[in-house]
Structure 1
Amino acid sequence: MPLVVIKNQATIAGINDIQQTIIKEKLTIANPKYNQVVQLGKSAFGIDKELHFYTEHPDSIEVPVGFVPTLLGFIKVAPEDLIDARFEAPPIHNWRFNGKLFPYQEKVVNDMMDKTIGVIQAPTGSGKTVMIVDYVMRRKQPTLIMVNTIELANQMIANFVKFTNKNEDEVGFIGSGEWRVRGVTVTILQTMVRLGKTQYRFLNNSFGQVIVDETHIIPAQTFYGVIKNLNAKYKFGFSATPERDDGLTPVIHWATGPKISELTLTDVKDKIVIPTVRHIKTDYYFPLWNSDEYAAMVDDLIDDGPRNKLILDTVDEYKGKQMVILTTRVRHAMFLAEQLNKLGHKADYLVSRLPHPTHRKKFKAMPKKQRAAVIDNLNSGKTQIVVSTFSLFSTGIDIKGLEVLFLAGPTRSEIKLKQSIGRIMRKASVKKKPEIVDFRDMQVDLLKYQAYRRNKIYKYLDNVE
C-alpha cells in the first residue's frame, strides 16, 4: 500500500512503476528559458529542455506539498498511511484584530480556516491585506509572510499595525539587513533565497504558517525553491491573477496548493469604482518583420520624438491630477519624468534599477529609501506624477488617490497589465472617477494585436455587474 509522509515535501513510497511514471509526467514542465533561446536562434547548450519538480530515491519519490491533492485523486492512500509531519507551532497570544470584514471577505477567511494549503484569488480593491490580518489572528499560528519588494513589506507591516493591537516593533521583519523575529514576521523573497541551513532550521522551528503575497510575480523556480525548504503546516498564496506568462503557472500551485477561494470584480463592485478608458492613436511606425526585432523596435519607440510629444501633451491636459505613467524601459521612464519637470509638472520616476552613468548596459538598484520616498511624495501631494515600468508597478504598489493611469509603452504581459489596471480602481467612497489613457500604436501589426488584446480586458471591466 502507498505511504505518504508530508513535511516540507511529500515523500511517497510503496507505489508501482506506472504510478511513479504518472507522477513524473505530471510534475514535468517545459523550460521557458530553453524555448526562449531556441526561438531566438541561439544555442541552448547547458539549458534543460524540461523542468522536473520531483526527486527520485531508490524506494520513494519526493513531490511538492501542493501536488498532494492531485496525487490523492489517482492514488488511493489509507488514512493511517497519510502521515502529516509538518510543523505546527504553539499558538500566539495577545494579538487582537480590530477591523471589520465584509461578507465576501468573511467567506475567504472561512475557506482558509478549512484548509492547510491553497491559493486565494482576490482582485485589487477586495481588501486582501485585511483578510490576511484577520485570518492570521484567527489561526493564531506564528506566521511568516513573504513578499517580493520592500514597498510591499512596508505596506504589510503598516496594515498589521493598523488592524491589530500591536505597534511596528511588535511586527517582525527579515530583510534589508534586519532580523527582527516576532509572532508575525514579514520577509522579502530575495532575503529568503540567501538564507543558510541554520537560519532555515530556526524558521522551521518557529513558524507554523507561511503566507505568500502576489504569488504570480515571484520567479517561479525561486519561489518554489524557498517554499519547499519550509516545513510549516499551513501554506497559502494570494494573488489577483494567479497566472504566469512563461507557462509556469502550475508551479504556483505545486508550492502553495490548489485554488481554494476566489473573489471577482462582481463580488467587490460596490466597494470600488471601475475606471473609464480613453484611447489615443499614435502615428508611430516600425518595419517589424519578425519577433526577433521586438527589442530593437521598443528601443526605437521610446526615442520617437512625435510619440513622446503626444504623451507629454496629453499628460498636460490632466494637470493637477494625481497620475502614473507606465512604460517598458527604465530609460524611457527617466526621460519622461525629466521632460515633465521641464514643462512645469511635479514629476518623479520609480524604477527598480538605475542605469550606470557611463556604461549603457550596466545598472544598479534604485535605493529602497529613494523608492519609498517617491511613493510617499505622490501620496502626500508633493509630486503629482510618477513615471514607472509595468514590471515594477504591477507588483502591488499602494497609491492612495491615483486618478489617471497612462499606458505609454508596449507590454506583452496581459497579467502585468491587469495588475497595473487594478492599482487605479478606487474605493467607492472616493468620488473622483479614475481614468486609463491608452496610447495605441496601430501602424505596427504586433502592437495593434496587443491593443486588441487590451480591449478584451477593458470589455470585461465594462461588463462587471
Structure 2
Amino acid sequence: MIAQARTSTLILVHRAVLVDQWRDTAIRFLGLKRKDIGIWRGRAPRITHRLDVAMLPSLARVEKPGAVLAGYGMVIVDECHHVPAASFEAIMKACPSRRVYGLTATPKREDRLEKLMFAQCGPIRRTLNEEPATRARLVKVRATTIALPAGPGERSPLHELWDALVRDEGRLDIITTDLMSCVADGRSPLVLADRKNYLERLEQRFASQAPEVTRFRLDGLVGKKARRDVLQKIDGHYSESRPFVLFATASLIGEGFDLPQLDTLVLAMPLSFKGRLVQYAGRLHRSHEAKRDAVIFDYLDENHPITQAMFRRRLAGYGEMGYRIEMPGTETPMGL
C-alpha cells in the first residue's frame, strides 16, 4: 500500500516495539536504508517527511499536532483500536490528510467505544485472514472441579476467584500434564496468564516434572533487551527442532509480539472479552511453513457461574474463528 501510494507517509503507533517492527519491515520490503526512515520517539524526533514512524504518546505532547501532520499525504494508524483514548483521538481530529488507514486485529472494544475509532479511521474496508482455512484449528477443553468461593447471591469478587484458581494444586497438575503432553508431541506451547505469581507456580511445577526441557519467561520484569534475547533463543530452538515452553503474561503477548512459528496456546487463566481471545489466538494464526495446525488448551472451571459464563463467551469466539471444540470426555472434535 505504501509503495503503491507514492506519497509521503506517516505511520502512527503507540508502543516502541512497533516502531522498530515497522522500520525493519520497511527496510525489508521497500528496499529502504535505515537512514531513509524517520523516527519520532521521545522529545528528539528525526523525521524525513517521506516515510516516518511516530509514537502517538510523543505526538500527544506537541502543542499543535495538526502542523506536524500536515506534511503527509497518507497516515496509517497501527493498532487503531487505541484511537478512542482522549489524547490519541485529539491527534486524529487534527490530522488533515484525506488518506487515513487504520490497522487492527480487534475492532471491537470492551468499553464499546469502537465508534470513535471508526469516526477517525473510517469503516472496515478489508479483512485479512492470516491462515488458510484448510489448516486445522482445535480447542482442547479441560474441566476442573475446584471449589470456588461464592459471595452473596452466588457472586463473588473476581480477585477471590482468581486467588482460588492460583492456589489450587489440582488445576496446576492438569495444566502441567497438558504441557508434558505438548512437549512429548514435539510442540512448544505458549502459556498465558494475567498473574505473574501463577506463571511462577506453573513454571516451577513443570520444571519439577521435566527439568530437561528449556523454559523461557516473558513478564513485566524482563527488560526490552532481555526480551529480544529470549526471542532470539526461541528462534534457535525452532531451527533445531527442540521443544520448549514459553511462560508469559498476557500483556506482553498482545500488540507487537511476532513469533509466527507458534502453534500451541495454553490459556491458564479465564477470560471473556472476545477481542482479547482473538488477539491471543491470533498468535497462532501467522503463516509459517513448519506449522501443521493450531491448538488451544482451555480450562473450564465449572463450579462457579462467573467462570461458566466466561467459558460460554470463549466458545462463541472460537466458533467465529473456525475452531473445533474437543470437550472433556470426547475423543474426537465436535463442531460448534
SS in 2 for 1:326: strand
1:71 alignment partner in structure 2: none
1:314 alignment partner in structure 2: 178
Q: What residue ranges of structure 2 are gaps of 5+ in the alignment? A: 325-334
Q: Is the 8 A contact 2:192 2:267 kept in 1?
A: yes
Q: CA deviation at 1:454?
A: 1.6
Q: CA deviation at 1:389?
A: 3.0
SS in 1 for 2:100: strand
1:348 alignment partner in structure 2: 216
Matched, 1:458 2:325: no
Equivalent residue for 2:285, pick from 414, 422, 425: 425
Q: CA deviation at 1:170?
A: 2.2
1:404 alignment partner in structure 2: 264
Q: CA deviation at 1:346?
A: 1.8
2:331 alignment partner in structure 1: none
Equivalent residue for 1:442, pick from 302, 311, 314: 302
Task: Summarize deviations over 1:225-244 as a string: whole Å, max 9, x none.
Answer: 33224333322111223110
2:235 alignment partner in structure 1: 379
One-letter code aligned to 2:105: A
Change (3 A) 1:399 1:263: same
SS in 1 for 2:96: coil
One-letter code aligned to 1:327: A
CA distance in 1, matches of 2:45, 2:205: 41
Task: Summarize deviations over 1:437-458 as a string: whole Å, max 9, x none.
Answer: 1122111211112112222222
Matched, 1:159 2:25: yes
CA distance in 1, matches of 2:311, 2:18: 30
2:76 alignment partner in structure 1: 211
Q: Is the 8 A contact 2:139 2:295 kept in 1?
A: yes
Task: Summarize deviations over 1:43-98 as a string: whole Å, max 9, x none.
Answer: xxxxxxxxxxxxxxxxxxxxxxxxxxxxxxxxxxxxxxxxxxxxxxxxxxxxxxxx
CA distance in 2, matches of 1:337, 1:288: 29
* Equivalence map 1:12-23=2 (5 Å): none
CA distance in 2, matches of 1:302, 1:217: 31
Pairs aligned (count) = 313
> Larger deviation: 455-464 or 292-301?
455-464
SS in 1 for 2:293: coil
SS in 2 for 1:280: strand
- Following TM superposition, where does structure 1 have runs of at least 4 consecutive aligned residues deviating by more than 6 angstroms? none
2:14 alignment partner in structure 1: 148
CA distance in 1, matches of 2:199, 2:84: 24
Q: Is the 8 A contact 2:79 2:104 kept in 1?
A: yes
Identity of aligned residues (%): 23
Q: Is the 8 A contact 1:204 1:231 kept in 2?
A: yes
Task: Summarize deviations over 1:230-286 as a string: whole Å, max 9, x none.
Answer: 333322111223110112111111222222x13264xx6637734222111112221
> Larger deviation: 150-159 or 201-210?
201-210
1:333 alignment partner in structure 2: 199
1:118 alignment partner in structure 2: none
One-letter code aligned to 2:37: V
1:180 alignment partner in structure 2: 46
Change (3 A) 1:169 1:218: same
Equivalent residue for 1:234, pick from 78, 90, 99: 99
2:252 alignment partner in structure 1: 392
Q: CA deviation at 1:219?
A: 5.8
1:258 alignment partner in structure 2: 123
Q: Is the 8 A contact 1:324 1:386 kept in 2?
A: yes
CA distance in 2, matches of 1:348, 1:218: 33
Matched, 1:197 2:63: yes
2:132 alignment partner in structure 1: 270
Matched, 1:169 2:35: yes
One-letter code aligned to 1:209: M
CA distance in 1, matches of 2:9, 2:262: 32
How high is the TM-score relative to the length of structure 2?
A: 0.82
CA distance in 2, matches of 1:339, 1:219: 41
CA distance in 1, matches of 2:52, 2:134: 30
Q: CA deviation at 1:462?
A: 4.2
Change (3 A) 1:139 1:281: same
How high is the TM-score relative to the length of structure 1?
A: 0.61
Q: CA deviation at 1:396?
A: 4.2
Q: CA deviation at 1:416?
A: 0.6
CA distance in 2, matches of 1:218, 1:333: 31
Change (3 A) 1:372 1:291: farther
CA distance in 1, matches of 2:134, 2:223: 33
Q: CA deviation at 1:411?
A: 1.2
Q: Is the 8 A contact 2:136 2:292 kept in 1?
A: no
* Equivalence map 1:52-201=2 (5 Å): 135-175=1-41, 179-182=45-48, 183-193=50-60, 195-197=61-63, 200=65
1:287 alignment partner in structure 2: 149
Change (3 A) 1:222 1:202: closer
- CA RMSD after TM alignment: 2.8
2:327 alignment partner in structure 1: none
Q: What residue ranges of structure 1 are gaps of 5+ in the alignment? A: 1-134, 355-365
Matched, 1:414 2:282: no
One-letter code aligned to 2:141: H
Q: Is the 8 A contact 2:149 2:160 kept in 1?
A: no
CA distance in 1, matches of 2:215, 2:173: 16
> Larger deviation: 408-417 or 274-283?
274-283
